[in-house]
């Protein structure tokens, strides 16, 4: 492998570490260059601005996130367990282990909102695909009521419980984690079993 891709990878690794530790606003390209032990001009060669580097770092962490999610789901069995983990695992993983993704929602500059929106749309499509596979398994196991179409189920679950509103600003992370711990199991049971008493 040539040195150039290695430099780009190193810049991304250092940037991701610094953005995760100090946030977007408090991380400079000078600090990233120093951490990577390369000239600042080399950083600009690969990434025209700090915002471009930040978006690239987010995309790296997002790919890592989807890999971990798929590995976690592959270790589970059956529709109910897979849906439960699909809803439970991502939020805790992001907030506890990938704070750069939250930093992205809070501090990305307004001029880069279009790129962020495109990134979130791509992420939504991947989440919808993963969820669609789970819903198909539920249908195969004859566990899903025919009144609920696969497309609508995927859309509602993804938009309300996974990806959320693209413009949402999340600032009180401890409070959000507390709410997740409090409500997550209840929401999952509502999705799995509904609220109407039967038989």
More confident residue, 168 or 5: 5
**What is the phi/psi pair of residue 169, to 5°?**
-105, 120
Please report the pLDDT score of residue 3 as a whole number: 55
- Could you tell me where in the chain the CATH 1.10.10.60 domains are found? 1-48
Please report the pLDDT score of residue 166 as a whole number: 44
Please report the pLDDT score of residue 67 as a whole number: 92
Please report the pLDDT score of residue 107 as a whole number: 65
Q: Which CATH number fits domain 54-193: 1.20.58, 1.10.1740, 1.10.3470, 1.10.357?
A: 1.10.357
For 19-38, what is the mean pLDDT?
Answer: 90
Please report the pLDDT score of residue 197 as a whole number: 56
For every residue of 93-141, which 3-state class applies, written as one string? HHHHHCHHHHHHHHHCCHHHHHHHHHHHHHHHHHHHHHHHHHHHHHHHC
DSSP string for 69-86: HHHHHHTS-SHHHHHHHH
Residues 6+ apart with CB under 8 A from 160: none
What CATH code is assigned to 1-48? 1.10.10.60
28 is written with which tokens? 């400079």
Q: How many CB atoms lie within 10 A of CB 157?
A: 20
- Could you tell me where in the chain the CATH 1.10.357 domains are found? 54-193
Kindly report, residue by residue over 87-129, the tens digit of the pLDDT: 888 777 776 666 676 666 666 666 777 787 788 888 889 989 9
Closest CA to 192 of 115, 84, 100: 84
Q: Is the pLDDT of residue 183 over 90?
A: no
Please report the pLDDT score of residue 115 as a whole number: 80
For 141-154, what is the mean pLDDT?
Answer: 83
**What is the phi/psi pair of residue 49, to 5°?**
-150, 170
Please report the pLDDT score of residue 59 as a whole number: 87
Please report the pLDDT score of residue 82 as a whole number: 94
Asked if residues 175 and 67 have their Cβ atoms less than 8 Å apart, the reply is no
For 58-67, what is the mean pLDDT?
Answer: 87
d(CA 116, CA 148) in angstroms, rounded, equals 31
Q: Is the pLDDT of residue 169 over 70?
A: no
Asked if residues 131 and 154 have their Cβ atoms less than 8 Å apart, the reply is yes
State the residue for tokens 């025209």.
48
More confident residue, 121 or 9: 9
Please tell me the pTM assigned to this model: 0.74
Give 75's pLDDT tier (boundaries 50, 70, 90).
Answer: very high
- Cα radius of gyration (the chain): 20
């Amino acid at each position: 492998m040539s040195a150039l891709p290695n430099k780009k990878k190193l810049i991304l690794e250092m940037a991701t570490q610094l953005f995760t530790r100090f946030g977007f606003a408090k991380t400079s390209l000078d600090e990233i260059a120093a951490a990577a032990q390369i000239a600042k001009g080399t950083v600009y060669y690969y990434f025209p601005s700090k915002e471009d580097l930040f978006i690239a770092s987010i995309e790296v962490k997002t790919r890592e996130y989807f890999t971990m999610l798929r590995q976690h789901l592959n270790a589970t069995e059956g529709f109910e367990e897979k849906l439960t983990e699909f809803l439970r695992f991502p939020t805790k993983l992001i907030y506890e282990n990938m704070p750069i993704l939250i930093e992205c929602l809070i501090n990305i500059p307004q001029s880069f909102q279009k790129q962020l929106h495109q990134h979130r749309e791509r992420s939504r499509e991947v989440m919808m695909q993963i969820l669609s596979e789970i819903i198909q398994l539920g249908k195969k196991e004859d566990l899903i009521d025919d009144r609920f179409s696969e497309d609508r189920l995927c859309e509602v679950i993804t938009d309300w419980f996974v990806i959320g509103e693209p413009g949402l600003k999340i600032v009180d992370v401890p409070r959000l984690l507390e709410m997740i711990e409090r409500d997550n199991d209840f929401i999952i049971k509502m999705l799995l079993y509904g609220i109407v008493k039967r038989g």
